[in-house]
């Protein structure tokens, strides 16, 4: 998943998701600490890497306040000009505005996701509505909108190049979608809605992180962990010790419904505890209860959509995506449900047979699926997924896999920068160079899970590329791999390997950006397009030349045996009924929430009933296949930028699967292919219509057939 932290107007609302209380735009009282605040000046670190060793929590709020005040002053200077609006006196300075605010926001929001603490949580709760109000003061500035509107109406008569003309159009649309055409009273209500939403999203995010930590499963004895690899047992013991529970074991949860230990644990009652604990998060009375948060968010989003002329929030969101309409998304998802569920039911029958043979009279449950999937896989393919782990050591995967593929395809190279100080000791830094030795930027790899880090995997940027601002990317990838005890190697699952390739696909999108304006930099593309390049990059994880290069036994140095390698490829489509169904269930749940009108939103106590009904009506209400995320911990749609957009992964996978076919047809891992993909698509960011980019790369309209074959839906 890609997450933006770019705050260039009007992208700021992606972070704050709304607006409300006014911010004093005078300079009086803005700086509450001395001017040695590291955010007040451009970082002197390479590529403007934040000086993490000099940053203290006390620096953030004053820098936010000063940054907002400075940008409002810059915007005022633009909007109050007497001179008629031109591109150069209106949109160019607007793109240049907010440098300090962007600097502090990028650092703060990355840290509050990757390494938060109580102080950062408090700042986030305080600053969210302030940023929302700040955004409104810009996007609802009537004088500024008049200038932008005037340029928009002049259109092609301005004589601008394509990227500049698109910038005019995109800014105009953003102002309108923020409410610039509403009455004064409606704009006031819009600000109230946005401010409340910003606060609620922050509450949701903090509840999810605190809730997943609180829901960790405590196990009393070693015997209950039979089946779990000893490295994971040791990590569970270390986690317990860190919580003051010496002699016990703690199984930390990820922010998904399914949990990795379920595939290995022999103890069925413990598997049930883990799954029930996972599914219950945020939906029970207590301090982490998210039911009221999400129902209120759904109401506010629906109200805002109607104010802006849309029937519901989904229609409002999809109008700006490549899908464009609710009907298009509904039809695509509905068309995939019957074959996916049929596959899942066939898989369930196989698992039930295995469970019955294993333990006698047992009815397959959600907590059994992963466990018996591995048994069926082993029986059918003579393959145990745990056999892979010794060949998937993290350093080899990164340097001989992810980096190697990028070098072969694009000619780029990497140099470790141990001299640079990241924000956490586990984070690693590399400098990235183009094929001709030109610097491309810095790459930060933050791969290990920790209690201070939100779940999932994502890419974000501390600095984005822009010719106008003369900036070069600083990009981070974040995963949540369980860190082994000291002295032990980090051995990955194949899912973790694919995730690493996926997230680096987002990073490449950022590094190869070659645009003038920060508005269009890197991954600033429609939500249902942004996952496409990263999904394409996953193909190299199993490309024979790449796999053979990194799949080396960490102790013996021997390559993965061909028979095992063949089984990796042979089982790639295994369990796709489950994988597709759990994903579709979450996507359909997202749409169910966001296609409601405000008066249709259920009461908090009815969230579970609404969810069950929505899944049943959509045809994915399988008890043994819970949605990948239940409503109360569905961070993509309530705490991040994927509301009404979780469908994006499968939507983008149509383009991805079709593009993989193109690479295969053209010889695979060749520089010519990488250069073509980079030149026609990755370098353009959002400066060209997304589907035009795809057509320029592929030379044709997208074909859904490769996706259907990949997922066994044909």
Active-site amino acid positions? 503
User: 62: which 2 tokens?
Assistant: 């004053």
Short-list 93, 69, 68, 67, CA closest to 80: 93
Q: Report the SS3 class of residue 466.
A: strand
Token pair, residue 540, equals 């190299």
User: Which is nearest to 625 in space by CA: 387, 345, 354, 380?
Assistant: 345
Measure the CA angle with vertex 401, ends 398 and 404; round to 5°: 100
Q: Which of 171, 210, 11, 197 is nearest to 101 (CA)?
A: 11
> Maximum Cα–Cα distance for the chain, whole Å?
84
CA dist., res. 208 & res. 117, Å (int):
14
**Host H or E run for residue 139:** helix 118-139
Dist CA 137 CA 12 (whole Å): 12
Buried b (16+ CB within 10 A) or exposed e, 138-171: bbbbeebbebbbebbeeeeeeebeebbbbbbebb
CA distance 522 to 710: 28
Phi and psi at residue 698, in whole multiples of 5°?
A: -80, -25
d(CA 122, CA 107): 16
Listed in sequence order, the DSSP H helices in 281-325 are 291-307, 313-318
Nearest to 8 by CA among 78, 94, 69, 73: 94
Give the DSSP H/E element, type plus range, for residue 249.
strand 249-251
- Asked if residue 231 lies in contact with residue 491, where contact means CB atoms within 8 angstroms, the answer is yes
- Please give the radius of gyration of the chain, using alpha carbons only, rounded to the nearest integer: 25
Question: What SS3 state is found at 416?
Answer: strand
Q: Which residues contact 625 (CB under 8 A, 6 or more apart)?
A: 344, 348, 366, 369, 578, 581, 582, 585
**How crowded is residue 332: how many other Cβ atoms within 10 Å of its Cβ?**
16
Q: Which of 168, 178, 176 is nearest to 133 (CA)?
A: 178
Residue 53 gets which letter from DSSP? G
For residue 315, count CB atoms less than 10 angstroms from its CB and return exposed for 0-12, middle for 13-18, buried for 19 or more: buried
Phi, psi of 24 (to 5 degrees): -65, 120
Beta sheet of 458-463, edge-to-edge order: 413-416, 428-433, 439-448, 474-481, 458-463
Hey, what are 517's tokens? 């304006």
Residue pointed to by tokens 């749409």: 591
Question: What does the angle CA 220 – CA 628 – CA 452 come to, to the nearest 5 degrees?
Answer: 55
199 to 128, 133, 204, 639: CA distances (angstroms): 6, 11, 9, 10
Tokens of 276: 């029930």
At 10, list the tokens: 């009007």
Q: How far is CA 584 from the centre of its chain?
A: 17
439-448 and 428-433 as β-strands: parallel, antiparallel, unpaired? antiparallel
């Amino acid at each position: 998943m890609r997450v933006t932290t770019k705050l260039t107007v009007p992208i700021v609302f992606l972070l704050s998701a709304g607006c409300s209380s006014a911010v004093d735009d005078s300079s009086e009282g803005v700086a509450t600490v001395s001017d040695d605040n590291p955010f007040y000046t451009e970082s002197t670190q390479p590529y403007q890497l934040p000086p993490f060793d000099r940053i203290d929590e006390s620096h953030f709020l004053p820098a936010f306040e000063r940054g907002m005040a400075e940008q409002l002053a810059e915007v005022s200077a633009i909007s109050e000009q007497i001179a008629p609006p031109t591109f150069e006196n209106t949109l160019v300075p607007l793109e240049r505005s907010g440098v300090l605010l962007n600097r502090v926001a990028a650092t703060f929001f990355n840290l509050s996701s990757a390494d938060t603490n109580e102080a950062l949580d408090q700042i986030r709760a305080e600053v969210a509505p302030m940023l929302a109000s700040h955004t409104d003061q810009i996007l609802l500035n009537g004088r500024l909108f008049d200038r932008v509107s005037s340029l928009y109406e002049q259109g092609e008569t301005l004589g601008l190049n394509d990227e500049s003309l698109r910038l005019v159009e995109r800014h105009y649309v953003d102002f309108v979608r923020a409410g610039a055409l509403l009455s004064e009273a409606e704009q006031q209500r819009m600000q109230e809605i946005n401010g409340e939403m910003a606060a609620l999203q922050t509450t949701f995010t903090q509840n999810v992180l605190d809730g997943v930590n609180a829901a960790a499963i405590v196990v009393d004895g070693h015997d209950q962990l039979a089946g779990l690899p000893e490295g994971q047992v040791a990590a569970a013991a270390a986690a317990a010790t860190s919580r003051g529970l010496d002699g016990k074991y703690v199984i930390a949860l990820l922010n998904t419904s399914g949990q990795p230990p379920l595939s290995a644990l022999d103890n069925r009652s413990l598997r049930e505890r883990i799954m029930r604990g996972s599914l219950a998060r945020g939906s029970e009375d207590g301090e982490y209860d998210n039911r009221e948060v999400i129902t209120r968010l759904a109401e506010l989003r629906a109200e805002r959509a109607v104010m802006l002329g849309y029937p519901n929030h989904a229609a409002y969101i999809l109008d700006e995506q490549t899908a464009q309409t609710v009907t298009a998304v509904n039809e695509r998802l509905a068309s995939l449900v019957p074959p996916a569920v049929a596959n899942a039911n066939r898989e369930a029958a196989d698992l039930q047979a295995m469970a019955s043979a294993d333990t006698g009279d047992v009815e397959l449950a959600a907590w059994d699926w992963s466990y018996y999937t591995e048994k069926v896989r082993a029986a059918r393919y003579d393959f145990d997924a745990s056999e892979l782990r010794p060949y998937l050591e993290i350093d080899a995967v990164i340097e001989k896999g992810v980096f190697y593929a990028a070098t072969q395809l694009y000619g780029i190279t990497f140099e470790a920068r141990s001299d640079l100080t990241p924000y956490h000791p586990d984070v690693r830094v590399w400098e990235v160079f183009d094929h001709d030795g030109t610097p491309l930027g810095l790459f930060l790899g933050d791969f290990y899970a920790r209690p201070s880090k939100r779940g999932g995997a994502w890419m974000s940027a501390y600095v984005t590329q822009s010719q106008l601002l003369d900036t070069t990317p600083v990009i981070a990838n974040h995963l949540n791999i369980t860190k082994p005890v000291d002295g032990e190697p980090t051995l990955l699952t194949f899912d973790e390997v694919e995730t690493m390739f996926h997230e680096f696909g987002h990073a490449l999108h950022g590094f190869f950006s070659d645009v003038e304006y920060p508005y269009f930099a890197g991954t600033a593309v429609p939500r249902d397009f942004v996952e496409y390049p990263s999904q394409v990059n996953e193909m190299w994880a199993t490309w024979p030349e790449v796999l053979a290069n990194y799949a080396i036994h960490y102790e013996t140095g021997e390559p993965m045996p061909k028979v095992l390698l063949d089984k990796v490829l042979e089982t790639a489509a295994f369990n796709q009924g489950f994988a597709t169904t759990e994903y579709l269930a979450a996507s359909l749940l997202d749409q169910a929430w966001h296609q409601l009108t405000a008066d249709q939103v259920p009461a908090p106590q009815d969230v579970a009933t609404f969810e069950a009904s929505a899944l049943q009506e959509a045809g994915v209400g399988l008890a043994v296949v819970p949605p990948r995320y239940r409503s109360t911990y569905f961070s993509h749609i309530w705490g991040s930028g994927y509301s009404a957009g979780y469908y994006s992964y499968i939507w983008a996978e149509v383009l991805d699967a079709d593009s993989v076919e193109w690479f295969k047809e053209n010889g695979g891992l060749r520089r010519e292919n990488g250069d073509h993909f980079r030149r026609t698509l990755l370098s353009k960011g959002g400066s060209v219509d997304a589907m035009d980019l795809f057509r320029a790369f592929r030379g044709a309209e997208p074909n859904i057939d490769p996706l259907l074959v990949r997922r066994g839906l044909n």
